[in-house]
Amino acid sequence: MRVLGIETSCDETGVAVYDSEEGLLSHELYSQVKLHADYGGVVPELASRDHVRKIIPLIEKALDDANSSKTDIDGIAYTQGPGLVGALLVGSSVARALAFAWDKPTIGVHHMEGHLLAPMLEDPCPEFPFVALLVSGGHSMLVDVKGIGEYEVLGESIDDAAGEAFDKTAKLLGLDYPGGPHLAKLADEGEGGHYAFPRPMTDRPGLDFSFSGLKTFAANTIRASDGQRQTYANIAYAFQEAVVDTLMIKCRRALKQTGRKRLVISGGVSANKHLRAAMKKMLNDMGGQAFYPALNLCTDNGAMIAYAGCQRMAAGQTSSLSEVAKPRWSLDSLTPL
């Protein structure tokens, strides 16, 4: 089965073609970083308009790179939610229009299921069951995964997600948007032992996350500092260390609670090299294994949507052309395969 995947949930337009026998055939991605940089964050209306401009050329390029035409495509997968409603409507409208014009089935994919399954595109890929840590600008979530669609949310962010805290703290440090990667780079220049940041919600039971207090602590520390680059680097180091430690503590709890030995870490923050190194060491010490998507598939992309859609279509699931975008959509409400 060959599936065209379309992702437009936020500020990246992603299109890919995935074949169940040949694997990922093409992957096109356009990032709106420069468009939103002047505003210090995503402007939903501008994001939607840019998706409209970019999506058709990207679809044509993805099909061309995959040496495929509409007759070779067996189905079209698109991100149905969650995300920015205007952005979601662009991808879903184009996907359903193509499905109608080409007489192909379509499937609406949950954005977080796409991230969760992205490591399945790697070799080796994780076997079920496993625990998944989904960390991005909009989500911090721990999920017990027994199979595709068999998800139990163990914990999630009750305020700022980890990626959001990275971006907001980076902005306080005067770094460019998107701030997470810039903060991580600045942290490489920092040294430990200068600041003691809290590890939020690790002194109590449970697997939920809260990073708003950590962001406030960082803001107060920055305001009280001398504003020198080395000082800011030390603050960035301490902040990153606190986030990574918090995620590690929660993941260790989740693995012990479920008895799992495999941990999938996905989403934009999973590209952080310090997080990857720390998680790898923790899993090695526990006799387990950590799995990640490729670096170019950590952020939003069409490949993960094409893969997730292909799995559901292969199991006989499709969506009607009257389906609507779902800006809010619970992961554990999905139908198991």
Q: What is the pLDDT of residue 269?
A: 95
Q: Kindly report the number of other CB atoms within 10 A of residue 54's CB atom.
A: 19
Among candidate residues 258, 140, 132, 133, the one with its CA nearest the CA of residue 209:
140
| pLDDT digits 0-9 by tens, 308-328 | 999 999 999 999 999 999 999
**CA dist list (Å): 124 to 38, 115, 291, 294:** 40, 17, 9, 12
pLDDT score recorded for residue 137: 84
Percent of the chain whose predicted confidence (pLDDT) is above 90: 97
pLDDT computed for residue 222 by the predictor: 98
Q: Is 180 annotated as a binding residue?
A: yes
Give tens-digit pLDDT for 119-173: 999 999 999 999 999 999 888 999 999 999 999 999 999 999 999 999 999 999 9
Give the pLDDT confidence score for residue 185 in this predicted structure: 97
169 to each of 96, 99, 183, 195, 240, how far by Cα in Å? Answer: 39, 43, 8, 15, 10
300 assigned ligand-binding residue: yes
Say if residue 68's pLDDT is above 90. yes
- Residue 261, phi-psi category: left (phi > 0), alpha (psi -120 to 50), beta (remainder): alpha
- Which residues make beta-bridge pairs with 4? 17, 76
What's the gap between Cα 159 and its chain centre? 17
Cα gap 10→7, rounded to integer Å: 9
- CB–CB of 118/300 below 8 Å? no
Integer-rounded Cα radius of gyration of the chain: 20
| Residue 70 to residue 247: CA distance in whole angstroms | 43
The three-point CA angle 250-255-259 to 5° equals: 155
* pLDDT for position 198: 97
Residue 137 labelled as part of a binding site: yes
Reported pTM: 0.96
Decide: 120 and 297 in contact? Cβ < 8 Å.
no
Do the beta carbons of residue 305 and residue 19 sit within 8 Å? no
Check whether 135 is labelled as a binding-site residue: yes
Q: Find out whether 136 is annotated in a ligand binding site.
A: yes
Q: Is 67 annotated as a binding residue?
A: no
> What residue ranges define each of the domains in the chain, with the CATH number in brackets?
2-117+297-333 (3.30.420.40), 128-292 (3.30.420.40)
> Is 134 assigned a ligand-binding role in the annotation?
yes
d(CA 120, CA 116) in angstroms, rounded, equals 9
* Ligand-binding site membership of 139 (annotated): no
Helix or strand run (H / E) with residue 217? helix 212-223
Where do the H-state alpha helices sit in 79-177?
Answer: 85-102, 111-117, 162-172
Rounded to whole angstroms, the Cα distance separating 250 from 256 reads: 10
In 10 A of CB 35, how many CB atoms?
A: 15
